[in-house]
Amino acid sequence: MIHIDYRDPAPLYEQIIRRFEELILKGALPEGSSLPSVRSLAMELSINPNTIQRAYAELEKAGWIESRQGKGSVVSSNHAAAEAKKAEWSKKFHALLEEADVLGVSKEEILAQIEKEAGNHD
């Protein structure tokens, strides 16, 4: 479920956060799904439990997960975090379209590039 890339310059806790965000956004971890315990995930990844705890704390702070008494950490029913991530993407996409306009890239070239990239991510 979660893997660590030791060649990635991002801190381990950030890699864990990114991966859980991806799993939640793609629906692999639906609302109410339980996350592995801090201890079990730390053992699985062979990293310090404090690193997992930090990632979980950041995910909870951002609204991706919530702590439930007796259940541990679960995927939040609050969709604000996902909506914020999509809004961030939308801003980046808009900036790319503005840059394409400055460069004289046609609508057809933009759509062709989107089709090409979308085909690479199926």
**Could you give the 3-state DSSP secondary structure of residue 83?**
helix
Tell me the CATH architecture of domain 12-75: Orthogonal Bundle (1.10)
pLDDT tens for the chain, 122 residues: list them. 898 999 999 999 999 999 999 999 989 999 999 999 999 999 999 999 999 999 999 999 999 999 988 889 999 987 788 888 889 999 999 999 999 999 999 999 999 999 998 887 76
Q: How far apart are the first and last CA of the chain?
A: 19
For the chain, the domains span 12-75, 80-120
- Beta-bridge mates of residue 68: 72
Return the pLDDT at 122: 63
